[in-house]
Amino acid sequence: MGDSKDIFVDMVAEPAKRRKEIRKHVIRVVLIIFRTSQHLPMRIESLKKYLVDAPFVLFSGRTKGRYDWISIQSFESEEIADEESDICRNLFGDIIQSYEVYDFSSLKDPSFHSPAYTKTTRSSTMNGFRRSFQDK
């Protein structure tokens, strides 16, 4: 049995490993506008269940504004991502007016600290940026 030091190293290394795995994947942003339909509420419930159960969905939800639904998805390859887009459009085409897909390339690794971002941390970050630009 490994000692507690080995367990701690594994706990620290695991999130970094997951971030690298996500970077290798195709990150797809799907923007949907719904078509008016008397069955829309029932079909949205079906769409919700489909997206909640789908292992490739990172985030998904109803929005206000131009788009009615946004979904962020992760796939092993572009081919699998395209197949999934076809499946979704076939299953829910009766309520989809517009289905836009964008592949996303991240500039930085995902941050698990962003929910803790406050006005104080924003101020100190912005002051650091200002100083670095003023020095040039």
Instruction: List beta partners, residue 71.
Output: 30, 60
Give the start-to-end residue ranges of the domains of the chain.
4-134
Is residue 2's pLDDT more than 60? no
What's residue 8's pLDDT?
A: 44
Cβ-based neighbours of 136, under 8 Å, separated by 6 or more:
none
| Polymer length in residues for the chain | 136
CATH assignment, 4-134:
3.30.70.920
State mean pLDDT over 8-36. Answer: 70
Strands 96-104 and 26-34, bridge-based pairing? antiparallel
Q: In this model, does residue 12 exceed pLDDT 70?
A: no
pTM exceeds 0.95 for this model: no
Q: How far apart are CA 41 and CA 13, in angstroms?
A: 44
